Every structure is written in C-alpha cells, then in structure tokens.
Chains A and B, each alone.
Chain A
Amino acid sequence: MLEIALIASIKVIIVIVVVLTGCAWSTWLERKVLGRLQHRIGPSFAGPYGLLQPVADGLKLMFKEDIVPASVEKTMWTIAPIISFIPALLPFAVVPFGIDSTLFGHEVKFVISDLNIGVLFVFAVTSLGVYGIVLAGWSSGSKYSLLGGIRSSAQMISYEIGYGLSIIGVVLVANTLSLREIVEMQGSDSIWFFSNWMIWQQPLGFLLFVTCAFAETNRCPFDMPECESELVAGYHTEYSSMRFAMFFVGEYANMLGVASVAATLFFGGWQGPFLDTAPWLAVVWFVAKVFVFMLGYIWLRATFPRFRYDQLMAFGWKVLLPLALLNAMVTSLLVTLGWL
C-alpha cells in the first residue's frame, strides 16, 4: 500500500514539475517562434538564445506588487486564479505518457491514474477552467474584465458541445473511454507506424476537436476573453503579480493539456517506431507530438486574426455543432455496419 502511494506521489511530482517547466519554456518557444515569424529575433538577452527568459519572467512576477483594487469582490477574486489554474493541471492525471515498465524493481505504469473513463474526466475538468475566468471577470469590478468573463462563458457554451461531440467518434471507434486503451489500439508493428492512428479514421473529428480546443484554451483566433485590443486584457486586467502568473501559467498548462489529449486521441499518444527495442522512446514520441501541437498553436496565432464575437457564436452553433453531430452519426452508422 505504502509502495503504491509512494510511486503515485513520485509520479505526480514528476508530472507536475515537467508540466510547469514545459509551460515556462512554452512561453519562451512562443515568443521566439512568433518573433521569427514576424522577422524579429525574440528574447535574446537572458542566457543563450534568451533561454533563461522564463526564469527572469518568473522572478519579475514574484517581486511585483500584489495590487488588490478597491472594487473587487475579495473572496471570489482571490480564488478565481486558483480555479482556473488547478483544472488546467488535472488532465495530465489520466494521459498516458509511456509504456508500462519495470523501473528500479517496481512495476511502474506510465500514467498517474489509469481511469476507465479517462476521456470523460479530461473533458469534465478542462471545462471547469472557464469558471475561473468568469468569476475573475465578475469579481474584478471592472467593465473590461466583466465583458471578458461574459464572452468567455458565451464562447464556452457555444464550443463545449462541439468539443464533446467531436470525440464521440473516437470513443465509438475505440469502444472504450480509457485513454490507455485508446493509445494501445493505435499501435502498429508494421513499418507504417502511423497507419493505425485515429486521425485516419476520424479526420473530420480531428478538425472539429482542434478548432474547439483552440476556443477552449482561449487561444488565437478565439482569444475573445483576453482580446488585448478591445478589452485591455479581458478577465485578468485587474490582476498583477503571482495572481496574474497563475492565469498565465494556467493558460499554457491548458494548451499543453489539450495538446496531450489531441496527441493521445488522434496521433497515437506514445506510440511510435522502434518501441520494441527501446521502450523509453515512448516518452520521447509523446513529448515530440505535444511539441508539434504547441508549434501549431503558435503558427496559427501568427497567421489568423481574431474572430468577431458574433462570427464566433455563429461558427460554433451553425457550423461546428451540425458537423460534430454529422460526424457522430456517420461514425456510429459505420461502426454498426462493421466498417470501422
């Protein structure tokens, strides 16, 4: 019993440290890649290639004054960043990141918790993050924050349905809700290691999932709640210091979480070539896939302008929802007929 608890807590600590470090250096990656896309250099001052920039940013945020505006609803205002930060970390609890193996004489599963309803869990907790944003917007007592919060809730309602329906196809094909089993069924022994990836069976589902994921993580082109040009910074206008940092890290953790789930559901998670000779490569493949998704986030941010508010709602209700329904319908038909 003690051994299980010990292994679990070590896994939790490692995953949290890796995710938070990943968040920090995602900001560096974003600034650097975005800079290159815009003919700039990006951060270059702190350390070689600006690699210590996240450390400098963190220190700066820690030493900043923690301003509490007079108009805020203190309790809600204090817990809002926490509400938006914690759910961003939770999806990593069920995402498998490697092959189960024996390390130091112990059986170690490379997943914190192999939940049999992993997919449901991920979608439940990632949707909770929006409460943090809405509460932050409401409790700030500032018009910009309030508008950001309202936008966020409206956006969430428009997208969450499409988001949930887009993975129905995957679940139907895989016939399971466990992320571990979904990953295992995407493996392939042939030289075409990617032949069993879910994206070949669910291309439309993948497109819908990615689109909704961008809206879910409040990223460009769906970053309506932040919207620097209209809403100053939206829901976190009134936040400073580490409270702001929590929103910021939460956003990046959310991106990493959604990227991991996308890699797991559609790109075979840790599956990849040469796994029978070197099982540790599984972790490398998984990280590589998440990294590619992060690059995609940045690339799209550099390319597409922000949606207008009404366009976004229309897109969610009139395009994504019918398409997601269609995808679920066609997939269930094909599964019933035994073609998938």
Chain B
Amino acid sequence: MNEIAQAFINTLFKMPKGLYVTFKHIFKKPVTLDYPHEKRTMPPRYRGLHYLERYDDGTERCVCCGLCAAACPADAIYMEPTETENGERQAKVYEINLIRCIYCGFCEEACPEEAIFLGHEYEFSSDDRDSFIYAKEQLLVPQTRTDNPFKRILRRTRRAHLTAGSGK
C-alpha cells in the first residue's frame, strides 16, 4: 500500500518536476560547436603550432643561436647554422618534432630575436609519424602574410621592455 501511494506521489508530483527541468534545457543554446564548420576563436595567449617570424623586408629573424633548443624541456628542436651571402648567420636546418613538443612556450620566451612564436593553429594531425617533424620551410610564415596583430603588440612591448632594461 505504501509503495502504491509513493508511486502516485512520484507520478503526479516528482516526475513532472523532473520532466520540467529537462524541458527547460531544450531552449538553451548548445554549449558545443558545430566543429568543422565553426571553430572557437582561440584565446590570444593560446599556444598552438609554432611559426618562425620574418622582418618586414622578408628576411628571417632567426639567427640559429640555439637558445630555443637549449630552453626546450622536451628536446624537440634541432638546428644547423649557415651563413648568407652578406655574412649573416641563419638556420640551414630548423626542425621541430611536434610529437615531442609539449607546447610550453619556453622557446618563445628564450628567443632573443623574437623569431619563434606559438600560433593559434591546432589542426595538424596526421596518420604518419614522420610528417610531424616540421622543417624550416613549413614553419616560416609566408612573406605576404598579414601579421597577427597580437603578436605584433607583444613584440613591440617586449622590445620596449628590453630597451628600457638596457637603458639602466
């Protein structure tokens, strides 16, 4: 008898209450995205795929000093230096192993030339393990690229900070 009374109370009062709770949620906006068609805008400090910056005239900023490789806790960066016609130091080989990389951003911090940055790109999955070793050509930004405004601001503030520090 007790169970029957309980069943009636549940059916008449408690179950409609629960159903109402779930019903309300139909009208709420989904928290997920229709992923391949629409993507989240990444937060400005998001650390994704690396890219190598250029000067405004198109020459590479990287001088192959090896500080990024030294800072790298995962030992993911390999480089070999060379010299250009005008006697400037440049990277002949610059490879990042993206499977080893832990995307900590230490290379970005270590770089004295502001040459390497971690960008917002995160869609570089592949079936082939070898294809995760990115060479310099893949990492360098194309010459005609419009600059990432945030990185430009970051670079400017860093430069200002450095000059202020050296002024002391």
Interface residues of A (CB under 8 A from B): 33, 35-41, 44-45, 207, 299-300, 302-304, 314-315, 318-319, 322-323
Contacts and interface: CB of A to CB of B under 8 A. Distances in A.
Choose among B22, B23, B31 the residue with the greatest number of A CB atoms under 10 Å from its CB: B22
Contacts of B85: none
B9 to A, nearest CB: 12
Nearest to A38: B25
Nearest to B24: A37
B93 interface: no
Given A39-B28, A39-B29, 17 more contacts: A33-B26, A36-B26, A36-B30, A37-B25, A38-B25, A39-B25, A39-B31, A40-B31, A40-B32, A41-B34, A300-B19, A302-B22, A303-B19, A303-B21, A314-B3, A319-B7, A322-B4
Contacts of A36: 25-26, 30
A230 B37 CA distance: 36
A39 B30 contact: yes
7 contacts: A36-B26, A37-B25, A38-B25, A39-B31, A303-B22, A304-B15, A318-B3
Nearest to A323: B4
Across the A-B interface, give the 3 residue pairs with the lowest CB-CB distance, nearest first: A303-B22, A319-B7, A39-B31
Contact of A41 (B7, B18, B25, B30): B30
B36 to A, nearest CB: 8
Contacts of A35: 30
Nearest to B26: A36
Nearest to B33: A41
Interface of B: 3-4, 7, 11, 15, 18-19, 21-23, 25-26, 28-34, 36-37
Chain A binding surface SS class? helix
Contacts of A303: 15, 18-19, 21-22
Contact of B22 (A44, A207, A299, A323): A299
A103 to B, nearest CB: 39
A220 to B, nearest CB: 12
Contact of A39 (B7, B19, B32, B34): B32
A107 B149 CA distance: 75
A38 to B, nearest CB: 7
A299 B19 contact: yes
B11 A207 contact: yes
A40 B3 CA distance: 37
A336 B11 CA distance: 29
Given A319-B7, A322-B4, A323-B4, A37 B26 contact: yes
Contacts of B23: 299
Nearest to B2: A318
Contacts of B4: 318-319, 322-323
A44 B3 CA distance: 44
A33 B23 CA distance: 11
B62 to A, nearest CB: 40
Nearest to B5: A319
Contacts of B21: 303
Nearest to A211: B11
B115 to A, nearest CB: 39
A318 B32 CA distance: 43
Contacts of B28: 39
